Amino acid sequence: MGTLQLVTVLWAQALLPASWASSFERAFTGVLECQVTSTRPYLNFGFRYQAGYFFTAPLSQFLGPGHRLTVVTRVTPQSGPPVFLGQGFDLPPVPKTKQLIEVGGGYLLGEGEYRVDWLLYDERDRACRKSWKTRVARSGADKKVDLAIPPNTVTEFSLAGLAPQRNEPKPGGPLTVLLNAAPLSPRRMRLRSSDEMLLVGALSSLLERLGDRPVKLVVFNLDQRQELYRREGFRPERLSEVGEAINQLELGMVDYEVLKSPKGHVEFLADLLNQEANSETVVLLGPTTRYFEKMPAEKLEKGRARIFNLQFLPFLRYGNPFPDILDSAARRRKGKSMLLRTPADFAKAIAAL
């Protein structure tokens, strides 16, 4: 059975007022069929514990136009009041199908114990519920990390209502971030919810550490040779736009014009970098790619930009991978490549910008 990824919105979960508590007391008149899986908290690249859920539901429950789904999550610390997070979204017209919709959502936690009550409902007053408990406690190498979120704290990915980190943001000039929207594993042809969460979560952490430095953001994909998103003066408040742009990516469908040019990804990447040749600092951020050829030196224009290539690696991938075209392009411009396996690696890389 296929899966239709209409929305995967871990980063788009919004803090809700306490009045949403009434949602959990409602007597819904129908039942939605869904399967919910909670995700175990883990330390992310922003030095906060990340937890959440994925759910799937048969699209046959939502035939035709006009359907809207709402997810409300109540997270209650053992010591503290409950926090409500939620997201609503409209479904496109659904034909007769056996496919599933898959949606991911989540939140950030400090150390402590929590109860999670989860609710999905639609415009026809049908609902699906689940509850679970989760515990956040540092162990192993995590004990060496100074967490950036207090104990018994719940917040959304925009960090709304959360006190700033104790460390002062590193000062500096304008910065361009080229975000490579691709699967964490170059062998995969499908962008998973976890890939999107990693990309947007890492971008959020990077912006937070940069403080008030001006940021231009460009989100791209080499397989499609496509810019998915571009904005000058990007701010964390627009992270949900990035998530929506990435979610529109269809890696399994490639335009015929793209297939006619097997080396078109080289031209596309060179053009992206050449547009930023005279920027102050350029950061390539994302996974390693499936392209391992060298970037021809004549393709890149000379410029003054400092290039940093920050590449995430799959957690079980040891040793140094073969240098890819992003690594080659950065080194052609006398830039620096850094492989990111842990949050500590990412913090060190940000400090070098």
Q: Is 190 found in the same domain as 329?
A: yes
What total number of domains does the chain contain? 2
Domain of 55: which CATH number? 2.60.40.3880
Last residue of a domain, one of 120, 155, 190: 155
How many Cβ atoms sit within 10 Å of the Cβ of residue 95? 10
114 and 182 inside one domain = no
What local confidence, expressed as pLDDT, does residue 280 receive?
94
* Residue 207 and residue 297 in one domain: yes
Between these two residues, 344 and 232, which has the higher pLDDT value?
232
Mean pLDDT confidence for 12-30: 90
Res 209 pLDDT > 70: yes
206 and 347 co-located in one domain = yes
Predicted confidence (pLDDT) at residue 94 exceeds the cutoff of 80? yes
pLDDT of residue 284: 98
Q: What is the mean pLDDT of residues 28-39?
A: 95
The answer to whether position 343 is within a domain reads: yes
CA–CA dist 254, 187 (Å, integer): 16
> Which is more confidently placed, 164 or 65?
65
Query: Could you tell me if 144 and 223 lie in one domain?
Result: no
Q: In angstroms, how far is CA 246 from the centroid of its own chain?
A: 9
| Residue, of 165 and 312, whose pLDDT is higher | 312
Instruction: Identify whether residues 12 and 44 lie together within a single domain.
Output: yes
Report the pLDDT averaged over residues 337-342: 90
Asked whether residue 293 is domain-assigned, the answer is yes
Is 252 or 210 the better-scoring residue by pLDDT? 210
Last residue of a domain, one of 127, 155, 183: 155
Q: Is the domain of 110 the same as that of 216? A: no
Residue 217: pLDDT band with limits 50, 70, 90: very high
Q: Which of 68-82, 166-180, 275-289 has the lowest mean pLDDT?
A: 166-180
- Find the range with the poorest average confidence among 106-120, 226-240, 248-262, 307-321: 248-262
Residues 142 and 289 in one domain: no
Given this model, what pLDDT does residue 5 score? 47
**φ, ψ for residue 48, nearest 5 deg:** -130, 150
* Site of tokens 């269809």: 250
Q: Which of 1-10, 132-141, 193-202 has the lowest average pLDDT?
A: 1-10
Higher local confidence (pLDDT), 13 or 181: 181
CATH of the domain at 328: 3.40.50
Q: What is the pLDDT of residue 248?
A: 79
Residue 59 binned pLDDT confidence (cut-offs 50, 70, 90): very high
**Window from 56-70, 86-100, 120-134 with minimum mean pLDDT:** 86-100
**Predicted TM-score of the model (pTM):** 0.71
* In-domain check, residue 254: no
Q: Residue 192: inside a domain, yes or no?
A: yes
Packing angle of the helix pair 239-247, 193-210 (nearest 10 deg): 150
Share of the chain above pLDDT 70, in %: 87
Look at residue 1 in the predicted model and tell me its pLDDT: 47
Q: Are residues 94 and 185 in the same domain?
A: no
Residue 48 lies in a domain: yes
Per-residue pLDDT tens over the stretch 112-138: 999 999 999 999 999 999 999 999 999
Q: What is the pLDDT of residue 136?
A: 96
Domain end among 126, 155, 184: 155
Predicted confidence band at 318 (pLDDT cuts at 50, 70, 90)? low
**Is 319 in the same domain as 238?**
yes
Neighbour-count burial of 139, counting CB atoms closer than 10 A to its CB (0-12 exposed, 13-18 middle, 19+ buried): exposed
pLDDT of residue 200: 84
Domain check: are 235 and 148 in the same one?
Answer: no
In a domain, 7, yes or no: yes
pLDDT class of 255 with cuts at 50, 70, 90: low
Range of the domain at 329: 175-249+262-351
- Answer whether residue 179 is part of any domain: yes
Range 197-204 average pLDDT: 84
Q: Is residue 165 one of the residues assigned to a domain?
A: no
What was the pLDDT predicted at 167?
A: 47
Q: What is the DSSP string of 31-99?
A: E---EEEEEEEEE-TTSSEEEEEEEEEEGGGG-BS--EEEEEEEEEESSS--EEEEEEEEPPPB-S---
Instruction: Check whether 8 has a pLDDT greater than 50.
Output: no
User: Is 288 in the same domain as 146?
Assistant: no
Instruction: Give residue 160's pLDDT.
Output: 53
**11: pLDDT strictly greater than 50:** no
